[in-house]
């Protein structure tokens, strides 16, 4: 990526050093717009001044990560696709192998992996599945581990499910039950640079890569393919699609679900 903002090369190095985020992997037009917005919020006039501010203020570094990584999520986001995950995809995977190895990549506040854990608990109550959830932001991971959610985060969760998997709090929020929380392991990870888990049955990476450059996306999807078992499934967001799915080693039995073509029989038909 080539940015026209003065001072960008030095600023890019500062951000990479302080946060691990490589700005070269993000689309230039969207990146420039977001940088302009956050500089105004921070009351600095250029990238050189903003880079100096980041070097002297851990609070500003955290504010940058919070703004830049866009931690927006809710339980069962896109309910129709989670219905399909629970009624079709997970049962097919469970019929093929147990225990399942699942990765929620870019898990934000934990809504996504807890939603998956909830579906698995309904489908296979005694199952001891491996559900890993990762994000770049340590602060949002701490929130995910805490497992406390507001009413707006749970708009897609039925009363019956709330009674089973969440507990009400005096302030009107809800907390995940210990039994459900124990089904998810949270861990910090930079998708663009850290090693991936391997031998996976299901990867969820939803509404995470929309700001990445096309080369960065393609490399990420190739790495997802390598991380999946034969016939493992990649579940992407409603704003995303794999334009080169077959070239990348996937086919799509249903919109936003991609099956890794490697060998043997298909899981999803």
Q: What is the pLDDT of residues 25-42, one digit of tens each?
A: 887 887 888 888 888 888
pLDDT score of 264: 58
Q: Which residue range(s) make up the domain with 59?
A: 8-69
**Spatial distance between the Cα atoms of 10 and 17, rounded to a whole number of angstroms:** 11
Arithmetic mean of pLDDT, 223-251: 92
**Spatial distance between the Cα atoms of 105 and 243, rounded to a whole number of angstroms:** 20
Question: Would 265 be classed as within a structural domain?
Answer: no
50 and 132 assigned to the same domain:
no
pLDDT score of 4: 65
pTM here is 0.82
Q: What is the pLDDT of residues 90-118, one digit of tens each?
A: 999 999 999 999 999 999 999 999 999 99
Number of domains the chain contains: 2
pLDDT band at 69 (very low <50, low <70, confident <90, very high): low
59 and 84 assigned to the same domain:
no
DSSP string, the chain: ----STTHHHHHHHHHHHH---GGGB-HHHHHHHHHHHHHHTT-SSHHHHHHHHHH-HHHHHHHHHHHHT----TTSSHHHHHHIIIIIHHHHHHH-SS-EEEEES-TTTHHHHHHHHHHHHH-TT---EEEEEES-HHHHHHHHHTEE-GGGGTTS-HHHHHHHEEE-TTS-EEE-HHHHTTEEEEE--TTTSPPP-SEEEEEE-SSSTTB-HHHHHHHHHHHHHHEEEEEEEEE-TT---TTTTTTTEEEEETTEEEE-SSS--S--
pLDDT score of 72: 63
**Spatial distance between the Cα atoms of 152 and 47, rounded to a whole number of angstroms:** 36
Q: What is the pLDDT of residues 45-61, one digit of tens each?
A: 889 999 999 999 988 98
Q: Mark which of 69, 88, 111 sits at the end of a domain.
A: 69
Considering only residues 235 and 207, tell me which one the structure prediction assigns the higher pLDDT.
235
Is the dihedral angle over the CA atoms 218, 223, 224, 230 positive or is it negative?
positive
Q: Mark which of 22, 43, 69 sits at the end of a domain.
A: 69
146 and 235 assigned to the same domain:
yes
Question: Would 1 be classed as within a structural domain?
Answer: no
pLDDT score of 153: 95
pLDDT band at 71 (very low <50, low <70, confident <90, very high): low
């Amino acid at each position: 990526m080539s940015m026209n903002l003065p001072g960008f090369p030095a600023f890019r190095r500062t951000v990479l050093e302080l946060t691990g985020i490589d700005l070269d992997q993000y689309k230039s037009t969207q990146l420039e717009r977001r940088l302009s917005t956050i500089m105004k919020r921070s009351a600095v006039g250029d990238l050189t001044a903003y880079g100096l501010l980041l070097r002297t203020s851990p609070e500003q570094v955290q504010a940058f990560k919070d703004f830049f990584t866009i931690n927006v999520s809710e339980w069962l986001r896109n309910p129709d696709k989670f219905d399909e995950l629970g009624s079709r995809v997970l049962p097919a995977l469970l019929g093929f192998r147990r225990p399942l190895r699942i990765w929620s990549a870019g898990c934000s506040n934990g809504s996504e992996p807890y939603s998956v854990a909830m579906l698995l608990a309904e489908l296979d109550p005694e199952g001891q599945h491996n559900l890993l959830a990762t994000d770049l932001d340590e602060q949002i991971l701490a929130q995910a581990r805490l497992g406390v959610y507001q009413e707006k985060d749970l708009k897609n969760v039925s009363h019956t499910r709330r009674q089973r998997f969440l507990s009400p709090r005096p302030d009107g929020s809800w907390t995940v039950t210990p039994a459900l929380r124990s089904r998810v392991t949270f861990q910090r990870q930079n998708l663009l640079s850290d090693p991936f888990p391997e031998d996976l049955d299901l990867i969820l990476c939803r509404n995470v890569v929309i700001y990445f450059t096309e080369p960065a996306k393609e490399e990420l999807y190739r790495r997802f393919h390598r991380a999946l078992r034969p016939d493992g499934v990649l579940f992407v967001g409603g704003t995303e699609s794999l334009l080169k799915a077959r070239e990348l080693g996937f086919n799509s039995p249903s919109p936003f679900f991609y099956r890794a073509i490697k060998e043997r029989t298909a899981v999803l038909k």
